[in-house]
Structure 1
Amino acid sequence: MEEKKHSGLGIASFITSIVSGLLIFLLIGVAGVMEASTPGGIDEESAGAVIVGLFLFAFLGAALVALGLGIAGLLQKERKKLFAILGTVFSAVSLVVTIFIMIIGSAMG
């Protein structure tokens, strides 16, 4: 009997979810430092704030792609599911936590 191979979609999901999750939380940290170091808070229409916002949405998009790849990897037959499961879980957690942080931030401001 031939051993099952790992799902290529699952591996792509895992890598994308890890990278996008790390970049999202790094970007949230950068935004926090920008907010704390600016007297009176950061101007939401400044170039820095707009760039941080655009990158945040780009990285959230990457996390959504990772979620889709993970789900697709889970649906593949005759493939190992480990990386698909990990990619799906990591991307879903990144999305939920980031949206939660955004909701808290908008409620505070």
Structure 2
Amino acid sequence: MRHSGLGISSFIISTAIGVLMFLLFVIAGVLETSTPGGMDENSVEAMLVGLFLIAFLLMDLVALGLGVGGLFQRDRRKVFAVLGVVFSVGTVAITLLFLLIGMMA
């Protein structure tokens, strides 16, 4: 049996988005700590961080959809589809947890 093409693309996208999301959080942390008094909410940097966060979350939802589609393909291996779904759900959950913690602080 061959691997699912949808599963492979889901795995690649979710892995890439996970790495990019981590880098985005590092960049946001550096911007927050390097600015006296914290980052201004109306600054261009804050808006770019928010824009990239939304774009990455949407791409992660695309990866989740591809992974679910890969799970329903017949006569295909489902390893990469399962990994793509797990990584996508994990990335979305961790991101939403970080956002919740940030809003509470």
When the two structures are superposed, what TM-score results if normalisation uses the length of structure 1? 0.95
Letter in 2 for 1:53: G
Secondary structure of 1:77 counterpart: coil
Q: Distance in 1 between matches of 2:43 and 2:9?
A: 35
The match for 1:36 is 33
Task: For structure 2, list consecutive stretches of 5 or more residues without a partner in the other structure.
Answer: none
Q: Which of these residues, 48, 52, 60, is aligned with residue 49 of structure 2?
A: 52
Q: Distance in 2 between matches of 1:29 and 1:37?
A: 12
Aligned length: 105
Letter in 1 for 2:103: S
Q: Distance in 2 between matches of 1:10 and 1:107?
A: 36
Task: For structure 1, list consecutive stretches of 5 or more residues without a partner in the other structure.
Answer: none
When the two structures are superposed, what TM-score results if normalisation uses the length of structure 2? 0.98
Report % sequence identity: 55
Q: Distance in 2 between matches of 1:99 and 1:33?
A: 20
Give the CA RMSD over aligned residues. 0.5
Larger radius of gyration between Structure 1 and Structure 2 = 1
Q: Which of these residues, 71, 74, 77, is aligned with residue 77 of structure 1?
A: 74
Runs ≥4 in structure 1, deviation > 6 angstroms?
none
Q: Which of these residues, 42, 61, 66, is aligned with residue 58 of structure 2?
A: 61
